């Protein structure tokens, strides 16, 4: 028999038990009434008229004083069975036997007030071009541009080497006004809100040593209008984003990458609500566009951009220091490690200098034209 049928039978038997108990008490009460009537009859048969009158008066007084017989309090007694304790649910209990959970109160929406908004029209800087794989996609390979040793990736492919144009960075550039820097990313594709869910990011190296100091991250969904909602800024405070050396892979090397959150959409207690913004489809060569306050990077830094739908874990950057090339695989046909293995769906760029000339030997810096 099914558990629900057993429980129904159990409760039916208990209810019958209580009905029988009630009937028993009714019969006992009837018995006492009959005995009382018998004694009254015997009394009346032997008592004098005076005593009978007094007895009748007494019965009348008692009857009028009984609450159960007064019109204001007369109620039909209701049989209330004791509520049985429910047995604990078993593994075969159906969903209808489990009480619905109490709905949690809604999380209050935090409203962010902004003092400054980025410009609607942004003057772009010189374009820095990145290799693309659109022309070799049908061959399931990247043409070049994947230099694993220096953490430079051209992997806009899934693990089965399916090409994703919305991951493929074609160019990037830097613009500025008196309050913000603007980093624009041009993609081969036109849909940054690809169903894969692509993370876009800007890395900032403030001392040109090849170690990222800050990363500005935008997670999907990406807005068409300027917004801080899905934007975060993380800092690397223990100087390990490039492993032991920014000029070679140190894999397999543990690390925590960018570990300190300093901006979370402007919702943090100490956040500058206007620190970093993102928007998409802002124009030619601006499929994704970031704005961040100039005080974050000041006047001298290097910067590069990333598109990531694979690991999407900034705590593991640089990826080249976490996985060996044999583990990561390669998008270049002819490499012994081809095709892609554990590291796929990621594209990044060399780093461009801003505010200084340098000697072009800085780690990760884009080559001189």
Per-residue model confidence as pLDDT tens for the chain (369 residues): 554 554 566 556 566 656 666 766 666 676 566 666 655 555 555 555 555 555 566 555 555 554 443 444 444 444 444 444 444 544 444 444 444 444 555 555 678 899 999 999 999 999 999 999 999 999 999 999 999 999 999 999 999 999 999 999 999 999 999 999 999 999 999 999 999 999 999 999 999 999 999 999 999 999 999 999 999 999 999 999 999 999 999 999 999 999 999 999 999 878 899 999 999 999 999 999 999 999 999 999 999 999 999 999 999 999 999 999 999 999 999 999 999 999 999 999 999 999 999 999 999 999 998
> Residue 129: which residues within 8 A CB-CB, separation 6 or more?
170, 171
Per DSSP, helices labelled H in the chain are: 3-46, 49-65, 294-297, 325-328
> Residue 187: which residues within 8 A CB-CB, separation 6 or more?
165, 166, 167, 168, 169, 170, 287, 288, 307
What is the CA angle 247-249-252, rounded to 5?
Answer: 150
> Residue 204: which residues within 8 A CB-CB, separation 6 or more?
212, 213, 214, 215, 216, 296, 297, 301, 302, 303
| Cα atoms found within 13 Å of the Cα of residue 200, Cβ hemisphere only | 30
How far apart are the C-alpha atoms of 193 and 187, rounded to whole Å?
12
């Amino acid at each position: 028999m099914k558990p629900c049928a057993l429980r129904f039978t159990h409760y039916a038997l208990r209810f019958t038990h209580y009905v029988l108990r009630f009937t028993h008490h009714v019969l006992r009460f009837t018995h006492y009434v009959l005995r009382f009537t018998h004694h009254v009859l015997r009394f009346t048969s032997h008592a004098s008229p005076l005593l009978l009158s007094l007895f009748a008066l007494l019965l009348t007084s008692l009857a009028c004083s009984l609450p159960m017989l007064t019109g204001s309090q007369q109620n039909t007694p209701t049989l209330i069975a004791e509520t049985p304790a429910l047995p604990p649910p078993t593994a075969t209990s159906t969903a209808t036997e489990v009480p619905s959970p109490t709905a949690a109160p809604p999380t209050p929406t935090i409203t962010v007030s902004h003092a400054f908004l980025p410009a609607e029209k942004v003057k772009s800087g010189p374009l820095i071009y990145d290799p693309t794989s659109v022309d070799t996609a049908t061959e399931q390979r990247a043409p070049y541009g994947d230099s694993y040793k220096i953490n430079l990736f051209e992997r806009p492919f899934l693990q089965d080497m399916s090409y994703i144009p919305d991951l493929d960075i074609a160019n990037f550039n830097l613009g500025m006004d008196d309050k913000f820097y603007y980093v624009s990313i041009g993609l081969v594709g036109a849909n940054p809100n690809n169903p894969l869910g692509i993370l876009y990011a800007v890395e900032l190296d403030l001392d040109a040593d090849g170690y990222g100091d800050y990363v500005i991250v935008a997670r999907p969904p990406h807005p068409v209008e300027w917004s801080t909602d899905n934007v975060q800024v993380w800092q690397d405070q223990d100087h390990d984003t490039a492993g032991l050396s920014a000029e070679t892979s140190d894999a397999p090397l543990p690390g925590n990458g960018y570990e300190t959150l300093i901006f979370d959409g402007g919702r943090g207690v100490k956040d500058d609500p206007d620190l970093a913004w993102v928007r998409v489809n802002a124009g030619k060569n601006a499929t994704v566009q970031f704005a961040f306050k100039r005080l974050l990077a000041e006047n001298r830094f290097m910067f590069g951009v990333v598109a990531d739908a694979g690991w999407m874990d900034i705590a593991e950057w640089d990826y080249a220091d976490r996985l060996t090339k044999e583990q990561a695989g390669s998008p270049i046909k002819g490499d012994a490690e081809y095709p892609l293995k554990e590291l796929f769906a990621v594209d990044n760029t060399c780093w461009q200098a801003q505010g200084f000339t340098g000697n072009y030997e800085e780690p990760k810096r884009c080559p001189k034209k």
